[in-house]
Structure 1
């Protein structure tokens, strides 16, 4: 059943909220990805993702005989008020000692994750998921206090096609069911899950 009311498409989109990450586990033998429970990313400031992939253009007979888009996902940045200690441990591979100290090791392996977030609209919020992301550790910077503007941290994000089915992303539309919309941050949406649940 589709969400009641708010049937018209948004005229505009704005804002950024409800950012979450869900750790990815890959079973290479079964060629299948699974996701952990989404975890809130507090303090999302900006998200900028540029499309990755070139246009394929094959010339013959003095014309563009064949053209096609090469979708390699997205690349960009997620700016946060602060990168949480939990994200640093679960995704960036940092180690928390018994004494309460986070250790960054050059040999640590980062973990892939799904990135979930929401843009507001004049009618209804649009919820998104990028299924197969990786993040690089943020730079370290600060400045002497001059005014009330706090520091921010910037994560470099690469969001590629899923290795099991090549799906890059999904987002809600005006026809989304209440069950899917309300459960967006409870479990990562999988294509066909609504059919299995019926």
Structure 2
């Protein structure tokens, strides 16, 4: 187990999604993580307003709401499995064509990913994500074949328990770290 902390972060890889289900009674369960290959860029901004209470001619009490994150995930190509599981596109049984329907409601999911570091990659999970439909576009090929990418606009909201995000640390046990992409890590009931 590594105990030396990273000084820097760079890169993006091992992006996975895990379908989220809220059971009757509010219990949250996650499906098995599914890889989204071809991660290009992830840019998420913290969401939440700051509130200031003034007294004694100063900002006497300052608080910030944690409304999660919002931003974009850019990938080489959105996998058909994600389109079916999350965006709720349906596949025609006879002709195997994916169909987008205006009445379909996207499904929530957890997003797992990692950033490399100078010592060890840091693995993250955002627990309650939603994705909007990606734009459709490409461009002609000229003297070079430059790949086009797909971008998903994401919102990562808190779960009803308040959980938003988790990440590994230099002290994370190897068993937890190595199993990060086999199931969505959640704190023990008494832990957080």
Structure 1: 5+ residue runs without aligned partners? none
1:105 and 2:93 matched: no
Query: Which residue is 1:91 aligned to?
Result: 86
> In 2, distance between residues paired with 1:148 and 1:56?
50
Q: CA RMSD in A?
A: 1.4
Structure 2-normalised TM-score? 0.95
Alignment of 1:163-174 (within 5 A): 163=160, 165-174=161-170
C-alpha deviation, 1:31, in angstroms? 1.6
Q: Deviations over 1:145-188 (max 9, x none)?
A: 1222101000000001112x111000000100011001000000
C-alpha deviation, 1:61, in angstroms? 3.0
> In 2, distance between residues paired with 1:60 and 1:21?
46
C-alpha deviation, 1:33, in angstroms? 0.6
Aligned length: 189
> In 1, distance between residues paired with 2:28 and 2:47?
22
Structure 1-normalised TM-score? 0.92
Deviation >2 Å, runs of 4+: none
127, 145, 149: which one aligns with 1:152: 149
> In 1, distance between residues paired with 2:33 and 2:164?
18
1:30 and 2:25 matched: yes
Structure 2: 5+ residue runs without aligned partners? none
C-alpha deviation, 1:32, in angstroms? 1.4
Query: Which residue is 1:180 aligned to?
Result: 176
> In 2, distance between residues paired with 1:105 and 1:89?
11
> In 2, distance between residues paired with 1:137 and 1:75?
14
